[in-house]
Amino acid sequence: MYKSTRGYEKLVSSSYAIINGLAEDKGLYVPFKIHKLKNSLEYLAGLPYEELAFCILKEFLDDFCDDDLRDCIYKAYDKKFEDNKILQIKSISNTHFLELYHGPTLAFKDVALCLFPYLLNKALINNKQKENILILTATSGDTGKAALEGFSDIPRIKIAVLYPKDGTSLIQKLQMITHRSNNSLVISLNGNFDDAQNCIKNILNDSKIKKEFNDNGFILSSANSINIGRLFPQIVYYFYAYGNLLNKNIIKHNEKINIVVPTGNFGNILSAYYAKKLGLPINKLICASNENNVLFDFINTGIYDRRRILKVTNSPSMDILISSNLERLLYDLSNEDSILIKNLMNSLEIQGFYEIPKSLKEKLNEIFYSDFATEKESINAINKVYKNFNYLIDPHTAVAYSVYEKYKEKTKDKTQTIIASTASPFKFPKTILQGLNVNTSNINDIEALNVLSKKTTLPIPTSLKNLDKKPIIHNNICPKDKVLQAIENFAHIGGDLLD
């Protein structure tokens, strides 16, 4: 069963939590209790990815029957993934890059968002819901296309994606606005990612708006990692990576590892924290920030302060000042003190900051380390890794690598370390070329794809070829006060989704 981080007493099933996304008191759903996995790490290491996903997700989704859960998993992880491999691992010394970008949209979000639509569809059946679902998603680049791809033409579901007009890479933008399906809407917002996220949260938290949509046959939900259906599938790949190192005799049974995650909305690193609670031996979780270093400041001072100007950087998926999933972590670390969490979140919303108690900060620092990398440092990291190891990393992974280098310098820790490599370098070709000392002043991102391919002799991913030649399907540009109207218009057209 699931409960809210803000104390709402009603317990709900996993199907209900997946369908509704947010709790009625605006809190985030969390499991009533998380138990350590009964299976040994050696047993889990011997499983194919699909069966490993079943073992772990069964812990969280126990109102799904075994056959239904397996059906969802095997439908999700099929030929959509490159070479039928959900993920790959590239090892360099005691550093292991967990490549999470071999799905259809070349970003780590694919791993969860290929599965989430199937879980949601089964949840509708489990919950005997007659209404259809309208998914609302804010994106800083990667979630949008991954959600559009995952939910493309899924029966009984429509999806609206909101992205900051000048806050994504050109390739990320083209991936979204050229997406063709009968159940999707893409909106460009005059604002930044936090504005987009707030627009979606305000709609999802407004009981009058939700009733209006409900009266018209829609339940509103989200595909961001505030939804447990998005969050929990991400736990699986940390166990898979550990098992991979175990099978290769790089680590011994129960040997601890570090995990480094380039972090924005805190969902991916929270999944690693949940993996630790399930029994994965983790020494340190390393939270890597870019120049929007609100999480670095928070982990090192205990003060979360969003009262700053959001910077547009070369790692756009991390250009975030409000890390929504942090609420779940603080709830867990505070021994589920929902009153404290509610007060902290109210303070953040009204005053723009909060400070956690000293005892909570001490717990946080036992588990997490955090630092940040500048744009220049991330460019240098791209150069260093390619020059020394002939290996290409994207700007977000470069932030993580740069922070990990700082961590090693400060701590002298030689623990085997997994770095979450969250996107294909080809999604950010101009930035990568800058890291390779190639002048990009006279080319755009599309032209840069060809230059990067020739420079590295690596093929351009199929999904990015001729991206600029695809027709633009979505050319909607909205100010913040017109977003709801655009979504209402979208929901009231297109006929019956059950057809």
Catalytic residues: 109
Evaluated on CA atoms 208, 210, 213, 214, the torsion sign reads negative
b/e burial code for range 8-34 (CB count within 10 A of at least 16 → b): beeebbbbbbbbbbbbeebbbbbbeee
> Do residues 148 and 124 lie in contact, with contact meaning Cβ atoms separated by under 8 Å?
no
* Dist CA 157 CA 135 (whole Å): 7
Report in angstroms the alpha-carbon separations of 346 from 27, 333, 354: 11, 18, 9
> Do residues 170 and 446 lie in contact, with contact meaning Cβ atoms separated by under 8 Å?
yes
* Dist CA 190 CA 166 (whole Å): 8
3-state secondary structure of 173: helix
Strand partners, 4: 29
3-state secondary structure of 353: strand
- Half-sphere exposure (Cβ direction) of 140: Cα atoms closer than 13 Å: 25
Report in angstroms the alpha-carbon separations of 401 from 37, 89, 316, 383: 30, 15, 16, 12
> Do residues 323 and 263 lie in contact, with contact meaning Cβ atoms separated by under 8 Å?
yes
> Do residues 144 and 186 lie in contact, with contact meaning Cβ atoms separated by under 8 Å?
yes
Token pair listed for 258: 């570090």
* Dist CA 268 CA 233 (whole Å): 10
Phi, psi angle pair for 496, to nearest 5° = -80, 125
* Dist CA 79 CA 88 (whole Å): 15
Supply angle C-alpha 227, 229, 232, rounded to 5: 100
Burial class (CB in 10 A: 0-12, 13-18, 19+), 101: buried
Q: Quick one: which of 201, 211, 69, 221 has its CA closest to 132?
A: 221
